[in-house]
Amino acid sequence: MMQSPSNSVILDDNDVRDTATAQKYLDAGLKAEQEGNRYGAVEAYEAAYTADPDHPDVCFRLAYNLDLFGEEDEAIHLYEQCAQMKCPPLSALMNLAVLYEDRGLYAKAERCVRQVLSTDPNHPRACLYIKDIMASKAMVIDDDLETRAEKHSAMLDTPVTDFDLSVRARNCLRKMNIRTLGDLLRVTEAELRSYKNFGESSLDEIKAMLAQRGMRLGQAVEEQRSAVKQEVYDQLMNTSGSDDETLARPVNELNLSVRARKALALLNIQSIGDLCLRTEAELMGVKNFGMTSLVEIKEKLTEAGLSLRSLEE
């Protein structure tokens, strides 16, 4: 039997937690923080997290510093990982509660604070914050809507280990850092297929489990794209007076040059509305797409009273 290195923990055949390396980079991150070098701290903590993603202090310090940089989504993900640990840092639970409340997720925020109070009933910050959360919940006008949203959110937070999946399927999902039902809805079938050792049987198994719940792989991605598309369409109709029929017209009706049409084909842009959803940067990122083609497209859209999407500053 092969013995593991003295400073490593074998998880399975492919995963090794390098605790010594994680500690080395954790110490480097703490030193960088003390010196006021937050960028250096984040780099060190990311290296430590790569070495041992289940280290509570590493997970917390990385989440905390990313939160300071405004990377809330990533910070929430890491704080949530901390919360699932056997003895989660209380500061991680409190910071997660604050982020949840900022997003109107009062039930989740309350659960975090109550978890803190169950460990330390006299925690001063938690004792004060629970009152703020309860007051915020009382101000919600549409209680039914919030209840439905919370139930849906709670369902998406369900760990994939709670579902009747084979050990092979669960291991593959864990290695891809897919831990909840919501994570599954944010990954596409193609992304699962591209992962090493992810077979057809595991894929069919997961798709069947989702189908039983009226869901499918990539659903969250599609919903997000649909919401963005509708928002941009609404803006276009308000600013240019265009209607759905105009935006649905084939992009070929713009009579673009062959070079420009080929570039749009690479981006799978088929309608004028699809083109208006793109930014200049997205178009310029296509191979062999030059400034001449960009100017041509912008002129054609201007003639139709339309334009490319602009990012807000």
pLDDT of 28 reads: 93
> Among the three residues 169, 202, 217, which one is the final residue of a domain in this structure?
217
- Give the model confidence (pLDDT) of 87-111 as tens digits: 888 988 999 988 988 888 888 888 8
Task: Report if residue 312 sits inside a domain.
Answer: no
- On whether both 133 and 168 belong to a single domain, the answer is no
**Measured in whole angstroms, how far is the alpha carbon of residue 226 from the centre of its chain?**
17
Computed on alpha carbons and rounded to an integer, the radius of gyration of the chain in Å comes to: 24
Task: Report if residue 100 sits inside a domain.
Answer: yes
pLDDT of 45 reads: 92
Task: Report if residue 228 sits inside a domain.
Answer: no
Task: Report if residue 179 sits inside a domain.
Answer: yes
- Give the model confidence (pLDDT) of 111-135 as tens digits: 899 989 998 999 988 888 888 888 7
Nearest to 51 by CA among 27, 17, 8: 17
What domain range is 164 assigned to? 160-217
Is residue 312 very low, low, confident or very high in pLDDT (cuts 50, 70, 90)? very low
Task: Report if residue 19 sits inside a domain.
Answer: yes
Range in 72-86, 99-113, 218-232 with the lowest mean pLDDT: 218-232
- On whether both 130 and 167 belong to a single domain, the answer is no
pLDDT of 7 reads: 45
From residue 165, give the alpha-carbon distance in Å to each of 3, 180, 183, 199, 208. 30, 13, 15, 14, 10
Cβ–Cβ < 8 Å for 79, 96: yes
pLDDT of 238 reads: 61
Range in 72-76, 139-143, 205-209 with the lowest mean pLDDT: 139-143
Q: How far apart are CA 265 and CA 298, in angstroms?
A: 17
- On whether both 39 and 129 belong to a single domain, the answer is yes
- Give the model confidence (pLDDT) of 8-58 as tens digits: 433 443 445 788 898 999 999 999 989 989 899 999 999 999 999 889 999
Cβ–Cβ < 8 Å for 114, 130: yes
Beta-carbon contacts of residue 250 (< 8 Å; ≥ 6 apart): 270, 271, 272
pLDDT of 147 reads: 63
DSSP category for residue 310: -
Cβ–Cβ < 8 Å for 93, 129: no
Retrieve residue 34's tokens: 């003390």
Nearest to 278 by CA among 250, 297, 254: 297
Cβ–Cβ < 8 Å for 66, 75: yes
- On whether both 39 and 131 belong to a single domain, the answer is yes
Retrieve residue 111's tokens: 């659960």
pLDDT of 280 reads: 82
The count of domains in the chain is: 3
pLDDT of 220 reads: 75
Q: Is 186 helix (H, G, I), strand (E, B) or coil?
A: coil
- On whether both 38 and 132 belong to a single domain, the answer is yes
- On whether both 35 and 123 belong to a single domain, the answer is yes
Task: Report if residue 313 sits inside a domain.
Answer: no
Q: How far apart are CA 184 and CA 210, in angstroms?
A: 9
Alpha helices (runs of H) in 186-285, residue ranges in sequence order: 189-193, 200-211, 219-240, 244-247, 258-266, 272-276, 280-284
Cβ–Cβ < 8 Å for 123, 91: no
Give the CATH number for residue 173: 1.10.150.20
Look at 251 and 241; give whichever has higher pLDDT: 251
Retrieve residue 144's tokens: 């039914």
Tell me the average pLDDT of the chain.
Answer: 79
Is residue 275 very low, low, confident or very high in pLDDT (cuts 50, 70, 90)? confident
Average pLDDT, stretch 148-176? 78
pLDDT of 1 reads: 31
pLDDT of 165 reads: 83
pLDDT of 135 reads: 78
Burial 189-211 (b: 16+ CB within 10 A, else e): eeebeeeeebeeebbebbbebbe
Task: Report if residue 270 sits inside a domain.
Answer: yes
- Give the model confidence (pLDDT) of 277-311 as tens digits: 777 877 887 777 788 888 999 998 888 888 887 65
**Measured in whole angstroms, how far is the alpha carbon of residue 118 from the centre of its chain?**
30
- On whether both 25 and 109 belong to a single domain, the answer is yes
